[in-house]
Amino acid sequence: MSSGWPNLSDLIVDKTADAPVGLVGAPLNMGSVTPGRCDLAPALLRATFRRIGRYDIETGRELQTSIADHGDVPIAGLSIEEATPSIVAACKASVERHRLTLLVGGNNAVTRPGVHALGLPLDKVGLITLDAHFDMRDTSQGLGNGNPVRALRDDGMPGKNIAQVGLAPFANSQEMHRDAVEGGHFVATIGDVWREGILVLMSHALHRLDHCEAVVVDCDIDVIDRSQFPGAPGARPGGMMSHTFFQAVRALAAHPKVRIVDLTEWDPPLDPTDLSALTAARWVAECIAGFEAR
């Protein structure tokens, strides 16, 4: 334990350890709508762990859960299609050993292989996205970070198994919105978050997925207001406040059916400060705090 400053790095153990939580890095960078360096995110996240303490003054509890680090999937330079089998295999290895897996992208295309790593029929898997976008772009030109939800629908995931929260004005098309609603998605805009409260919406989303055996949570970091997370190329002014995002993540990680929580679309060079890195590392703390509340 660190002398005088217990921090997240204390909780990291080797991937072979008997730990409740696993960590998988998936530095996927190909196929992004906006070219960038999302592949740098997993390494910077790990380097920031020492700056995030383990004691939550709001609850009076110190995080205790070990996190087995499975390292990064070796996918440098690979297309999404080429990288998918390796990401699926790495996530599957973590899911089989741990009750919760934290999947760190890379761009948002890592969500689809994360879902498939559960090894369940897609009608038994739920997906909750915290995202400014529907990610329902057409797949006819191949996979990308703008279409993982569409790709999962094409794979056979029923729309009733998908809940999407934090959708932003002037960041989506009418066609995508219509397709999501007609397909049965639970849809909550950022305005709904302000009006109803994030914990109410998280409860609604989880209730809608009661019929699912397992749930994957996709945290596309561009759901956060750009002023509070400048390292997300898709983030815009008017997004979710970081404290609201943290509330949502903790509430979702506390649910026993949640098996994977991912963090995607963080492009470190876009933020010359440490704000985005500290926010991303706090995401890990909130996931663990939620998990320990199960």
- Residue 24 lies inside a defined structural domain of this protein: yes
CATH code where residue 180 lies: 3.40.800.10
C-alpha 216, offset from chain centre:
8
Looking at residue 10, the DSSP 8-state letter turns out to be G
Predicted confidence at residue 35, as pLDDT, reads 78
Check pLDDT > 80 for residue 30: no
Mean pLDDT of 15-32: 91
Predicted confidence at residue 210, as pLDDT, reads 97
DSSP string, 224-237: B-TTT-TT-TT--T
- Residue 265 lies inside a defined structural domain of this protein: yes
Average of per-residue pLDDT values in the chain: 96
Predicted confidence at residue 2, as pLDDT, reads 45
Q: Do 72 and 102 form a contact (C-beta atoms < 8 A)?
A: no
For the chain, report the end-to-end CA distance as a whole number of angstroms. 25
- The range of the structural domain enclosing residue 185 comes to 8-292
- Residue 1 lies inside a defined structural domain of this protein: no
Taking residue 249's Cβ as centre, other Cβ atoms within 10 Å add up to 25
Check pLDDT > 60 for residue 1: no
Number of domains in the chain: 1
Check pLDDT > 90 for residue 144: no
CA distance 115 to 92: 10
Question: 242-253 vs 198-208: helix axis angle to the nearest 10?
Answer: 30
Predicted confidence at residue 137, as pLDDT, reads 94
- Residue 210 lies inside a defined structural domain of this protein: yes
- Going across the sheet that includes 125-130, the strands are 12-14, 67-72, 21-26, 100-105, 258-264, 214-220, 125-130, 162-167, 186-189
Predicted confidence at residue 32, as pLDDT, reads 72
Predicted confidence at residue 4, as pLDDT, reads 76
Higher-confidence residue: 256 or 142? 256
pLDDT per residue over 90-142, tens digit each?
999 999 999 999 999 999 999 999 999 999 999 999 999 999 999 999 988 88
| DSSP run (H or E) holding 165 | strand 162-167
- Residue 244 lies inside a defined structural domain of this protein: yes
Looking at residue 269, the DSSP 8-state letter turns out to be G
Mean pLDDT of 217-229: 98
Predicted confidence at residue 66, as pLDDT, reads 98
- Residue 27 lies inside a defined structural domain of this protein: yes
Taking residue 6's Cβ as centre, other Cβ atoms within 10 Å add up to 16
DSSP string, 81-141: HHHHHHHHHHHHHHHHH-SEEEEEESSGGGHHHHHHTT-S-GGGEEEEEE-SS------TT
Percent of the chain topping pLDDT 90 = 92
What pTM did the predictor assign? Answer: 0.96
- Residue 2 lies inside a defined structural domain of this protein: no
* Residue 3 confidence class, pLDDT cut points 50, 70, 90: low
Supply φ then ψ for residue 195, to 5 degrees.
-75, -40
- Residue 274 lies inside a defined structural domain of this protein: yes
Supply φ then ψ for residue 218, to 5 degrees.
-105, 115
